[in-house]
């Protein structure tokens, strides 16, 4: 790397817009969406999708709710052309879906594109040519005027062929490709030259696509460019201003959101940002960003996992685990403090104590996009008692008292630390069972009976102590008090019941109950125990023995 990068690189000059309005605006409605997965997201693949894969992905895009889908570059290859024809001839596109096709301003390509569209119900013909200084100088070796002539001639070739698409509803779209690198004055000039050919009206608008083809500046500069165009173009009311973002500076989402604030009406992008170089704009993220602010995006991501499955199968790409909204781990907390906050927030939400979603660390309710709450908290060596307690409760109905959480949390974390990996809820339950429920030495229950008379409960019990039979009897104001009294009569160090709670683990005639008991010894030390049984009285006795066995 250069020690003085300014000698090799320079910042892109922003347009002069001292009275910019976009910073004071708020997004209140969804834009028009156009998926370019089947074109940008296809040509960016090392192994492009075949017709069958493109058909499956197309059907998924329709199911999500896209009404405009760029299905390809039909003049580019036989596969692209065949896919186009199959969609049309097999009547696979719903009546309300526009099939968008891309074509350069070259006559032979425009001719082939029109051949691919015969019989379509609704189509968007997307004409483009590149306009930036670098493209004009390096690629074409043409002046500004010559580049305008290329665009105008392409627009005329398209206009001349429109009568051939009888019965087809056609919308026209023009892109000054590399707009983000083009002088805004020249972008306006060439766009208005195309508009002069196509003659859009407020009743028959054309799409003017202003792509952030290569991100070369901060998102606010792109927003300034979009607002400048919206304010300076002739007949703005006859245009649908469209954005087409890329992610070279990893700010594609931000640039698009600011571009919408700046006055754009429409967004082109792909699922999960698939596209050339660092990718296209990720429509999923922009749509769900709107959703988390209470604006319905008009797209259905309620089963995001199935969309990911189709996407990965068709494209061969994978969604990274930290990808916004869609990643496997984006709603998952391993940190103890995060887990505790999420658990408490979810409890507050489930109790109906808040009208609007406000759960710490969760921007939206994961269940809205088909994720399950069991995915939210996962335990590794960095986790705390809150995560352990949440998994036991959410997966197995084991509701640990708070003080018991403080005791078992470190025990579980020590075990997880030894494993050196994430543990499942089942493994966590096994740790709990081993530590509490399966503790049967030195004390093991064989029989426990009680009788009550005049408010006094008497118990008789048989145990094994280190394998040897032991019998006891005691009395008190309840079964546990009687049991504690009985232990004191046979020489067991005195202790008392400090905390007790119980609940059912399952329902039905054979419902299993679990009891949690904390005992306190004469020296002030405490221990928790737990027991399960179909009889709650026996579950409590087992919990006392568990605590004794752990002392």
Dist CA 407 CA 424 (whole Å): 20
145 and 83 in a single domain? The answer is yes
Helices (H), 65-209: 78-89, 107-117, 133-134, 144-161, 184-198
For residue range 56-98, what is the model confidence (pLDDT) as tens digits?
Answer: 999 999 999 999 999 999 999 898 999 999 999 999 999 999 9
Q: Looking at per-residue confidence, does 374 or 464 come out higher?
A: 464
Domain boundary (415, 437, 459) is at: 437
For residue range 264-281, what is the model confidence (pLDDT) as tens digits?
Answer: 999 999 999 999 999 999
Contact between 35 and 270 (Cβ < 8 Å):
yes
Contact between 172 and 162 (Cβ < 8 Å):
no
Contact between 487 and 459 (Cβ < 8 Å):
no
425 and 447 in a single domain? The answer is no
Q: In what order do the strands lie in the sheet with 456-465?
A: 443-453, 456-465, 468-476
221 burial type by CB count under 10 A (0-12 exposed, 13-18 middle, 19+ buried)? buried
Dist CA 464 CA 470 (whole Å): 6
Mean of the per-residue pLDDT values of the chain: 94
Q: DSSP assignment, residue 270?
A: B
301 and 271 in a single domain? The answer is yes
Q: Is residue 361 part of a domain?
A: yes
Please list, in sequence order, all residues whose beta carbon lies within 8 angstroms of the beta carbon of residue 294, skipping any fewer than 6 positions away: none
Q: Is residue 377 part of a domain?
A: yes
Domain boundary (437, 454, 485) is at: 437
Which residue segment(s) compose the domain that 86 sits in? 29-315
Number of domain units in the chain: 3
pLDDT score of 119 more than 90: yes
Q: DSSP assignment, residue 92?
A: -
pLDDT at residue 381, rounded to an integer: 62
Q: Is residue 488 part of a domain?
A: yes
372: pLDDT confidence band, cut at 50, 70 and 90?
confident
Domain boundary (387, 421, 437) is at: 437
Q: Is residue 540 part of a domain?
A: yes
181 and 37 in a single domain? The answer is yes
CATH number of the domain to which 535 belongs: 3.30.160.270
456-465 and 468-476 strand pairing: antiparallel
Please list, in sequence order, all residues whose beta carbon lies within 8 angstroms of the beta carbon of residue 338, skipping any fewer than 6 positions away: 360, 361
Dist CA 171 CA 151 (whole Å): 17
Contact between 133 and 181 (Cβ < 8 Å):
yes
Q: Is residue 320 part of a domain?
A: no
Dist CA 288 CA 325 (whole Å): 8
């Amino acid at each position: 790397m250069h020690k003085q990068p300014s000698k090799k690189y320079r910042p892109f000059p922003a347009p002069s817009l001292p009275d910019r309005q976009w910073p004071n605006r708020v997004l209140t409605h969804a834009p028009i969406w156009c998926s370019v997965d089947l074109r940008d997201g296809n040509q960016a693949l090392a192994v492009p999708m075949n017709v069958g894969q493109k058909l499956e992905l197309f059907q998924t895009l329709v199911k999500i709710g896209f009404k405009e889908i760029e299905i390809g570059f039909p003049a580019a290859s036989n596969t692209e052309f065949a896919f186009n024809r199959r969609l049309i001839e097999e009547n696979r596109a719903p009546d309300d879906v526009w099939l968008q096709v891309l074509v350069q301003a070259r006559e032979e390509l425009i001719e082939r594109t029109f051949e691919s569209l015969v019989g379509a119900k609704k189509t968007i013909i997307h004409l483009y040519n590149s306009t930036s200084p670098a493209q004009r100088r390096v690629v074409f070796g043409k002046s500004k005027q010559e580049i305008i002539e290329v665009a105008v001639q392409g627009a005329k070739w398209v206009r001349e062929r429109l009568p051939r698409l009888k019965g087809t509803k056609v919308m026209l779209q023009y892109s000054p490709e590399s707009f983000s690198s083009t002088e805004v004055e020249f972008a306006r000039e060439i766009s208005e030259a195309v508009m002069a050919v196509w003659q859009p009206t407020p009743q028959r608008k054309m799409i003017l696509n202003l792509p952030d083809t290569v991100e070369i500046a901060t998102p606010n500069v792109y927003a300034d460019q979009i607002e400048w165009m919206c304010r300076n173009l002739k007949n703005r009311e006859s245009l649908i201003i469209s954005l087409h973002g890329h992610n070279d500076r990893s700010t594609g989402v931000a640039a698009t959101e600011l571009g919408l604030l700046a006055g754009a009406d429409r967004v082109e992008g792909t699922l999960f940002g698939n596209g050339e170089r660092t990718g296209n704009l990720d429509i999923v993220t922009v749509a769900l960003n709107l959703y988390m602010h209470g604006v319905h995006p008009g797209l259905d991501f309620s089963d995001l996992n199935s969309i990911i499955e189709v996407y990965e199968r068709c494209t061969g790409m994978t969604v990274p685990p930290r990808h916004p909204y869609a990643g496997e781990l984006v709603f998952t907390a391993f940190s103890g403090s995060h887990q505790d906050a999420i658990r408490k927030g979810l409890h507050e939400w489930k109790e109906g104590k808040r009208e609007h979603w406000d759960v710490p660390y969760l921007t939206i309710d994961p269940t809205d996009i088909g994720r399950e709450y069991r995915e939210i908290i996962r335990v590794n060596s960095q986790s705390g008692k809150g995560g352990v307690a949440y998994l036991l409760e959410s997966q197995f109905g084991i509701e640990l008292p708070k003080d018991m959480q403080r005791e078992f949390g470190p025990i579980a974390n020590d075990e997880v630390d030894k494993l050196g990996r994430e543990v499942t809820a089942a493994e966590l339950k096994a740790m709990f069972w081993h530590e509490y429920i399966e503790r049967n030495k030195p004390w093991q229950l064989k029989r426990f009976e009680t009788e009550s008379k005049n408010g006094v409960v008497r118990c008789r019990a048989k145990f094994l102590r280190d394998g040897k039979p032991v019998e006891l009897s005691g009395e008190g104001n309840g079964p546990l008090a009687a049991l504690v009294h009985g232990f004191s009569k046979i020489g067991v160090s005195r202790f008392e019941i400090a905390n007790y709670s119980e609940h059912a683990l399952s329902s039905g005639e054979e419902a299993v109950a679990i009891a949690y008991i904390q005992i306190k010894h004469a020296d002030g030390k405490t221990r928790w125990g737990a027991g399960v049984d179909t009889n709650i009285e026996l579950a409590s006795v087992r919990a006392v023995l568990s605590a004794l066995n752990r002392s």
